């Protein structure tokens, strides 16, 4: 059973300001993320404080998961996967 995705009133209010193109892009990217087709990865640059990153890497190592894989799992969970 999948969890029910809920959104705050503040989030829904901000979504009202999105353009049609932005809404379409979000829905299309969400569809692609959940499709069976393997989509290409994109290299990104992200600034994170060293203590936070070091702690995250250490916890991921203790859990036996690659830290970048864990970041992707957190992103997917946040989107409601």
**What is the per-residue pLDDT across 60-75, written as a single tens digit (0 to 9) for each?**
999 889 999 999 999 9
Q: Kindly calculate the radius of gyration of the chain based on its CA atoms and give it in whole angstroms.
A: 16
pLDDT category at 27 given cuts 50, 70, 90 is: confident
In the DSSP assignment, the letter for residue 1 is -
pLDDT category at 57 given cuts 50, 70, 90 is: very high
Determine the distance from the C-alpha atom of residue 13 to the mean position of all C-alpha atoms in its chain, rounded to a whole number.
21
Q: pTM for this structure?
A: 0.56
Q: Which residue has the tokens 């979504």?
A: 15
Which of 10, 44, 24, 32 is CA-nearest to residue 76?
A: 32
The pLDDT score that the predictor gives to residue 30 is: 79
| 73 to 18, 76, 77: CA distances (angstroms) | 26, 5, 6
């Amino acid at each position: 059973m999948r969890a029910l995705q809920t959104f705050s009133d503040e989030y829904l209010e901000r979504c009202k300001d999105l353009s049609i193109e932005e809404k379409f892009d979000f829905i299309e990217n969400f569809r692609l993320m959940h499709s069976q087709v393997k989509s290409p990865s994109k290299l990104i640059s992200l600034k994170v404080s060293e203590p936070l990153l070091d702690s995250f890497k250490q916890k991921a190592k203790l859990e036996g998961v690659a830290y970048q894989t864990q970041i992707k799992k957190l992103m997917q969970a946040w989107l409601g996967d």
